[in-house]
Amino acid sequence: MSPNPALAALEQFSPQLPLGIAYSGGADSTALLYAAAQRWPGQVSAIHVHHGLQAAADGFVRVCEETCTTLGVPLQVVHVNARHVDGQSPEDAARLARYAALAQAASSRGLQAVLLGQHADDQVETLLLALSRGAGLPGLSAMAAQLERGGMVFHRPLLQLPASRLRDWLVREGKAFVDDPSNTDERYTRNRIRARLLPALQDTFPQFRETFARSARHAAQAQALLAELAGEDLARVGVPPAIRALQALSSARQANVLRHWLLTAHQAGPSTAQLDQLLGQIQACTTRGHRIELKVAAGQVRRDGDVLVYRDQGLPPI
């Protein structure tokens, strides 16, 4: 029997136990489930999120049930409504529904963490999507190795492994897994990247997975430093931010602290254009009668005396 590459990735990984595996039935999560069941016998549960978006979904569940029975791993199947609303992408809707369902299912079972099967190819796709959208450092940081959603800790231990190594191992060992037909639907940008760009990158830059991942780590480190500086500057300018204190900062630090304030205090993510407009209005604010009023996300940033406030969907300013 050849070694499972996912098991090697887990050898130096010590999450809190017991834990759950986000198990779709696909190649990556299947390899992860086999590795986790071997690494922590009796401490692993599988959670399968049934999106109900395609006819093949019930077949995915049957494969998951058979594999979990073979491994002696308990399986929880969670049904979610992942249909998107107007203005929301199908991918975003499915992702949000999936995280919420995984967090709730894991908490109900007393699990301490959930492992996700995203791999090096997923990391590259995420970085390329961020570049295509002109993202800043948070987007260029791609996927974090650890995150928290819905009060549950999620880990991505396979980010250094290419998808081909996981799939090749499953095929050699005759392990069953499912191929989601939606993964080849090139109406979705991520699938076009996978089908068209990754093979071209492999031909041109054979080490692109490692080098792109390194760039993402550099971006994440830089973003962490910016967040630390923003916290210090926010303590100086106050909450809500004082306009004169903001004007004493460089424009780059103004942008950094305003973005931090809006995200941390109001969960509002300003676009680059909105932030540039806000900086211009702050710079021009030299008289008592000067108004500041700008739409940001679902609300507005306004001047209230000597400070900036954010009003969210008709709620009182804070």
DSSP 193: I
Claim to verify: residue 53 and residue 193 sit in the same structural domain: yes
pLDDT greater than 70 at residue 79: yes
Q: How far is CA 93 from the centre of its chain?
A: 13
Encode pLDDT of 191-233 as tens digits.
999 999 999 999 999 999 999 999 999 999 999 999 999 999 9
Claim to verify: residue 196 and residue 260 sit in the same structural domain: no
Claim to verify: residue 206 and residue 242 sit in the same structural domain: no
Claim to verify: residue 143 and residue 88 sit in the same structural domain: yes
Burial (Cβ within 10 Å: 0-12, 13-18, ≥19) of residue 203: exposed
Between residues 170 and 291, which one has the greater pLDDT? 170
pLDDT band at 88 (very low <50, low <70, confident <90, very high): very low
Claim to verify: residue 49 and residue 161 sit in the same structural domain: yes
Q: Mean of the per-residue pLDDT values for the chain?
A: 90
CATH number for the domain including 290? Answer: 3.30.465
Under DSSP, is residue 90 helix (H, G, I), strand (E, B) or coil? helix
Name which of 30-34, 143-147, 268-272 the model is least confident about.
268-272
Which contiguous run of DSSP H or E holds residue 19? strand 19-22
Among 211, 227, 256, the domain boundary falls at: 211
Claim to verify: residue 103 and residue 159 sit in the same structural domain: yes
DSSP 157: T
Domain that holds residue 140: 5-211
- Provide the pLDDT for residue 83: 62
* Residue 73 in domain: yes
Task: Order the strands of the 113-115 sheet from edge to edge.
Answer: 75-79, 44-50, 19-22, 113-115, 152-155, 146-149
- Provide the pLDDT for residue 54: 62
Q: CB under 8 Å to 213, separation ≥6 — which residues?
A: 120, 123, 124, 142, 159, 160
Counting the structural domains of the chain, the total is: 2
CA atoms of 243 and 280, how far apart (whole Å) = 12
Q: In the chain, what percentage of residues exceed pLDDT 70?
A: 92
The arithmetic mean of pLDDT across residues 121-128, rounded, is 94
- Provide the pLDDT for residue 317: 46
pLDDT band at 91 (very low <50, low <70, confident <90, very high): low
